[in-house]
């Protein structure tokens, strides 16, 4: 795979109030409106050597609220930057650089007319800055301004951020913040939201969603039943642990994955092929956006596998839920049968007791009748003897 130029590069640093580049930017806020001047102070924003070669190749300043600042807004902005400098605020300076052919592919740049969809670029910048401020907790305290520059081979955006009322003394931002900031630029220019939704729909609705409605015990899935019950019989006793990512389930995951694989192969072969095709396309798009840098390639090199893992995790949990439902129903039926059996035994014991009592009663009555007959016979014999003696 050949090396490619990334579509987006983010470079960032911060300067403290005593640095000349801080004052140069404050001056630039004023000088920015002097677009008719051919020459401009080369020391302005000294941090960037190629920053201001030609003012005709530089867009107007824009901010979170405005696409093009009025003179009054520029004065207010300058006062905020001066206030921040006086109060020892850090100034964060970010440069977002684009590979022009990549911008052309996204439909925001025409190399023939050298025209750029500045509205789109401004919107992307605002989204990136909003994410940065949110992650750094600067949403309520920070102010930023930016400008699009055309003075090099690659279009780029310079952004300066300060706090008029500083909330921190350190300028270092978290790497995750900068990653999220760059991701906002890439994702909003790629406009892959619809494709991401289609990928999620294949995973969650068409494959996993249909599995949730389909019982493994059904006749059409009869070849899956042996593996289904093998897994079920080796699950931990505590059903609360019947979750794919639970540590106690880890030894069973290969079997659960195999069950998922067999189900997908039988019922969703075409869906899975379409999913792989879309994932390959996403990896290609992300590679072109981020490039092959050691750090940036991590953003996409595991993207496809992570999505496949997500599919298998969801499928696994679907099977485990079915196993839990099956086990609960089985226990319910067994308890009902046990209750019926106990009730039957009690009834049988009752019948046996009544039968024994009846038998005893019959026996007693028989003995009593025999005893009464014997007494009657004895009295009769005595009467006969008495009559004979008198005669």
Q: Which residues of the chain have pLDDT under 50?
A: 33-57
Tell me, what's the pLDDT at 296? 82
Q: Is 85 strand, coil or helix?
A: helix
Q: How many Å is the maximal CA-CA distance in the chain? A: 174
Instruction: Specify the pLDDT at position 41.
Output: 34
d(CA 256, CA 100): 47
pLDDT digits (tens, 9 = 90+) for 46-98: 333 333 333 444 567 899 999 988 888 888 888 998 899 999 999 999 999 99
Distance CA 130, CA 177 (A): 11
Instruction: Give the pLDDT of residue 237.
Output: 93
- Do the Cβ atoms of 190 and 107 come closer than 8 Å? no
CB 201 within 8 A of CB 314: no
The span from the CA of 217 to the CA of 229, in Å, is 10
What pLDDT shows up at residue 174? 92
The structural domains of the chain, ordered by start, are 8-189 (3.30.930), 193-339 (no CATH)
Convert the pLDDT of each residue in 285-302 to its tens digit: 999 999 888 878 888 889
**DSSP H stretches of helix in 247-302:** 253-267, 269-290
pLDDT of residue 114: 85
Give pTM, 2 decimals: 0.68
Helix 253-267 / helix 225-233 crossing angle, nearest 10 deg: 160
CA 186 to chain centre: 19
The pLDDT of residue 361 is: 60
Calpha distance 165→91 (Å, rounded): 12
Q: What is the pLDDT of residue 107?
A: 92
């Amino acid at each position: 795979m050949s090396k490619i130029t990334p579509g987006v590069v983010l470079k960032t640093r911060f300067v403290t109030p005593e640095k000349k580049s801080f004052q140069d930017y404050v001056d630039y806020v004023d000088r920015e409106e002097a677009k008719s001047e051919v020459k401009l102070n080369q020391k302005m924003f000294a941090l960037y050597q190629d920053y201001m070669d030609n003012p005709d190749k530089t867009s107007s300043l824009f901010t979170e609220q405005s696409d093009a600042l009025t003179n009054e807004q520029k004065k207010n902005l300058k006062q905020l930057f001066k206030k921040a400098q006086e109060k020892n605020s850090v100034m964060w300076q970010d440069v977002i650089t684009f590979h022009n052919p990549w911008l052309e592919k996204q439909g925001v740049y025409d190399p023939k007319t050298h025209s750029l969809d500045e509205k789109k670029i401004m919107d992307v910048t605002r989204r990136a800055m909003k994410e940065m401020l949110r992650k750094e907790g600067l949403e309520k305290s920070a102010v930023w301004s930016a400008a699009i520059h055309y003075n090099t081979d690659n279009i780029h955006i310079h952004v300066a951020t300060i706090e008029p009322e500083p909330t921190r003394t350190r300028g270092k931002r978290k790497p995750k913040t900068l990653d999220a900031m760059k991701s906002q630029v890439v994702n909003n220019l790629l406009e892959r939201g619809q494709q991401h939704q289609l990928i999620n729909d294949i995973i969650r609705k068409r494959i996993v969603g249909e599995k949730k409605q389909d019982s493994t015990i059904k006749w059409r899935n009869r070849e899956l039943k042996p593996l289904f019950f093998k897994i079920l019989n080796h699950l931990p006793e505590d059903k609360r642990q019947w979750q794919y990512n639970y540590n106690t389930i880890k030894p069973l995951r290969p079997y659960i994955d195999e069950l998922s694989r067999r189900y997908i192969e039988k019922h969703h072969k075409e869906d899975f092929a379409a999913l792989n095709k879309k994932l390959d396309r996403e990896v290609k798009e992300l590679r072109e956006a981020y490039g092959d840098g050691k750090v940036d390639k991590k953003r996409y090199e595991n993207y496809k596998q992570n999505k496949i893992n997500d599919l298998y995790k969801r499928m696994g949990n679907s099977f485990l839920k079915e196993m839990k439902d099956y086990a609960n129903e089985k226990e319910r039926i067994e308890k009902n049968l046990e209750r019926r059996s106990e009730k039957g035994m009690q009834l049988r014991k009752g019948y046996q007791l009544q039968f024994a009592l009846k038998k005893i009663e019959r026996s007693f009555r028989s003995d009593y009748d025999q005893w009464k007959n014997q007494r009657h016979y004895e009295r009769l014999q005595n009467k006969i003897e008495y009559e004979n003696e008198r005669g």
